[in-house]
Amino acid sequence: MQLGFIENVMFSLRTLYNTYGYAQYTMSKFEEYDLYARNKDFLISDSVITFTDTNGKLMALKPDVTLSIVKNSKDEPNTVQKVFYNENVYRVSKGSRSFKEIMQVGLECLGAIDDYCICEVLTLAVESLQHISPACILDVSHIGLLSDLIDRMGVPSEKKAELFKCIGEKNTHELQNICREVGVDDVAIGTLKQVVTTVGKPSNVLPKLSVLLSDLPSWGDFEHIIRALENDAISEKLRIDFSVVDDIHYYNGIVFKGFINGLPAAVLSGGQYDKLMQKMKRQSGAVGFAVYMDMLERLDHTVSEYDVDVVLLYDETADLAVLRGKVSELIQGGCRVLAQREKTETIRYKQLMQLRGNEVEILENNA
Amino acid sequence: MPFLKQGSNESRYLNVALPKGRLGEKVLAMFEKAGFECPSIHENNRKLIFENPACGVRYFWVKPSDVAIYVERGAADIGVAGKDILLEYEPDVYELLDLKMGNCRMAVAAQNGFRDDPQRTLRVATKFANIAGQHYLSKGRDIDIIHLNGSIEIAPILGLSDVIVDIVETGTTLKENDLSVIETIVPISARLIANKSSYKFKSEEIETVVRELAAQTEAV
């Protein structure tokens, strides 16, 4: 049987993650609602399908996988647990404003994560994108570095969310207004604007950013990781872009988003979320990403022109053994066969055949 | 092995969604001045899509409130939308430039002599439910939003609402209906927006547009 585009991608991603020693993680569709209520901001959409279980507990259909993996992970700060998943999640779709079942493939690396783990996850993110299409880009940013920069500028905490929103939109004009409102000087505003608009391959961008950011505490972490990947095969697909932002209450280090040419939004999203681990009373760190498989539908060009290769018509006089033999023969020859008494108008076929006695007659040939 | 061939889904055109109307015409003039000309768009016909292969640009005229949707969903790479639409629908797009055109403000207006009673839920008539909701949420005020699609000004006159939240340009319509602005929520102007994915794959073209339009905006 021919696999569809999405199934093919899914299988290849599973193989890829397995190659790097990630074990498949399976889980129940349900989770206690309380987990999401406590971490609402971590979710892409805060609407959750809930129901009361037979024991009276308020349950939810999973809107997210990472929270469940973290919740069920062992808190062993000296080891690293590497898992991947292939699960359906239930979220409100922005367009239809109704719940949607979304297939998600992803991986998490939890525990004593180090720069190797982060580089490995970034490599796997790029390779995941490349398995979908060669025309892909992974935008990489560092939430800790951005936070350091904004702290250095003296932006009050109540304005940070607004400022991060502007950074995410590359909205330098509003960003400037907010900074001026809170008394940030023009030099610092200029630096932030430059950081947000300096986008490109690591080798081109790192020297420019170094001039602006090298005195910040998180610069060393960021530079070390990016330098390690700079001469790697994946660096062609990497872009440094500080407009990739995520919730500063959950993410602390590298954050990234993956794009495929032809798809209007990011198909991959991830980052280092040590702060979520801390919130969930874990002593270690974590990094991971998810690929939104539902978005790949638009890339699926494997849809066949025909529903079947052969429609084989027969009537009440047909000998059952002969009919079964002819169907089997056609299937053996590699055809998809639909045997039926009357032709269905909506079926698209290459050949229309009619069984007459022991012989098959070709009535139509569309191939 | 990748399942898609390189470039199988690429468009060689820079797709630009323009808002129908006077603002769109002005924006088009800016694009043309920047070198993205399209002679066919000036022909007198009812076509909505125009392209110029020579400079690799394709324009479409769409309803102003739909520009953000075309851009967010990737049907257009870039477009020009009012800040009111961006605040109301919060599309996931880049907002690259304030074009400083179509200037107006989002404001709260009420009948002359209106006195707000904080003890009562404020009834707000508006087309912009999200903007109004966010504005009053930030003030901790309970409101009842009455969603209308037009002629918002008559809502307080007929007692349907206490105030309205709407776009105010000159204030003439308000004045003629015995209303006045009691609070400005946010200034509004036209913004150049870009699809996030297109920005990655057509960055050179989009950056050229931003640079050229920014130069024209600053020169005004």
Q: What is the pLDDT of residues B120-142, one digit of tens each?
A: 999 999 999 999 999 999 989 89
Confidence of residue B2 (pLDDT cuts 50, 70, 90): very low
Looking at residues A169-192, what average pLDDT do you find?
94
Gap from A100 CA to chain B (nearest CA, Å)? 18
Looking at residues A158-187, what average pLDDT do you find?
93
Looking at residues B49-71, what average pLDDT do you find?
93
Tell me if A265 and B196 make a contact (CB, 8 A cut-off).
yes
Tokens in use for A308?
């079947």
Q: How far is CA A167 from CA A99, A243, A356, B95, in A?
A: 29, 5, 72, 10
Residue of A39 and B105 predicted with greater confidence: B105
In a 3-state reduction of DSSP, which class is residue B97? strand
pLDDT at A223: 96
Looking at residues A272-281, what average pLDDT do you find?
89
Looking at residues A232-239, what average pLDDT do you find?
92
Gap from A10 CA to chain B (nearest CA, Å)? 11
Closest by alpha carbon to B27, among B106, B104, B97? B97
Q: What angle do CA B121, B127, B130 make, to 5 degrees?
A: 65
Cα A212 from Cα A206, distance rounded (Å): 10
Tell me if A133 and B203 make a contact (CB, 8 A cut-off).
no
Query: What does the DSSP 8-state code read for residue A2?
Result: P
A333 at B interface, C-beta within 8 A = no
What are φ and ψ of residue B63, in 5° steps? -60, 135
Cβ proximity of A361 and A354 under 8 Å: yes
A262 at B interface, C-beta within 8 A = yes
Looking at residues A266-271, what average pLDDT do you find?
96
Tell me if B3 and A137 make a contact (CB, 8 A cut-off).
no
Contacts of A126 in chain B (CB under 8 A): none
pLDDT at A303: 63
Cα A65 from Cα A72, distance rounded (Å): 11
Write the pLDDT tens digit of every residue in A124-141.
Answer: 999 999 999 999 999 999
pLDDT higher than 90, residue B165:
yes
Tokens in use for B52?
């110029």
pLDDT at A107: 97
Q: Which of B103, B200, B201, B204 to mutate to test the interface with A (most CBs of A within 10 A)?
A: B200
Within the 21-60 window of chain A, which residues sit less than 8 Å (CB to CB) from chain B? none
CA A67 vs. chain centroid, Å, equals 16
Kind of pairing between the strands at B190-195 and B78-82: antiparallel
B89 at A interface, C-beta within 8 A = no
Tokens in use for A17?
């993650």
Tokens in use for A299?
């890339």
Looking at residues A54-59, what average pLDDT do you find?
91
What share of chain A has pLDDT > 90, as a percent? 66
Cβ proximity of A242 and A141 under 8 Å: yes
* Widest pairwise Cα distance in chain A: 92
pLDDT higher than 50, residue B4:
no
Cβ proximity of A65 and A290 under 8 Å: yes
pLDDT at A121: 97
Q: Which residues contact B60 (CB under 8 A, 6 or more apart)?
A: B15, B16, B17, B18, B48, B49, B50, B70, B76
B44 at A interface, C-beta within 8 A = no
Tell me if A261 and B203 make a contact (CB, 8 A cut-off).
no
In a 3-state reduction of DSSP, which class is residue A176? helix
Cβ proximity of A169 and B94 under 8 Å: yes
Amino acid letter for position A207: P
Tokens in use for A216?
């910040």
pTM of the model: 0.85
**Average pLDDT for chain A:** 91
pLDDT at A286: 94
What share of chain B has pLDDT > 70, as a percent? 95
Tokens in use for A280?
């969930």
Polymer length in residues for chain B: 220
First-to-final CA distance of chain B: 52
pLDDT higher than 80, residue A145:
yes
pLDDT at B218: 84
Q: Would you state the torsion angle of the CA atoms of residues B163, B166, B172, B176, taken in this order, to the nearest 10 degrees?
A: -30
A131 at B interface, C-beta within 8 A = yes
Tell me if B4 and A132 make a contact (CB, 8 A cut-off).
yes
pLDDT at B6: 41
pLDDT at B11: 61
Cα A215 from Cα A229, distance rounded (Å): 22
What are φ and ψ of residue A66, in 5° steps? -55, -45
pLDDT higher than 90, residue A98:
no
Q: How far is CA A244 from CA A13, A132, A164, A248, B206, in A?
A: 24, 21, 10, 12, 18
Cα A183 from Cα A177, distance rounded (Å): 10
Cβ proximity of B99 and B219 under 8 Å: no
Closest by alpha carbon to A250, among A123, A64, A34, A125? A64
* Sheet with B104-111: strands ordered across: B143-147, B122-126, B163-168, B104-111, B179-188
Cα B16 from Cα B194, distance rounded (Å): 9
What are φ and ψ of residue A194, in 5° steps? -65, -40
Tell me if B93 and A265 make a contact (CB, 8 A cut-off).
no
pLDDT at B130: 95
Looking at residues B47-65, what average pLDDT do you find?
91
Q: For A312, what's the count of Cα atoms within 13 Å in the CB-facing half-sphere?
A: 20
Amino acid letter for position A146: L
pLDDT at A306: 87
Q: How far is CA B181 from CA B162, B168, B178, B188, B192, in A?
A: 13, 8, 11, 15, 28
What share of chain B has pLDDT > 90, as a percent? 75
Q: How far is CA B122 from CA A339, B127, B132, B195, in A?
A: 68, 16, 11, 37
Cα A195 from Cα A170, distance rounded (Å): 10
pLDDT higher than 80, residue B81:
yes
Contacts of A131 in chain B (CB under 8 A): 1-3
Cβ proximity of B100 and B189 under 8 Å: yes
pLDDT at B8: 39
Cα A260 from Cα A267, distance rounded (Å): 7
Gap from B106 CA to chain A (nearest CA, Å)? 16
- Buried b / exposed e over A60-92, threshold 16 CB at 10 Å, is bbbbbbbbbbbeebeeeeeebbbbbbbbebbbb
Tokens 């991959």 belong to residue: A268
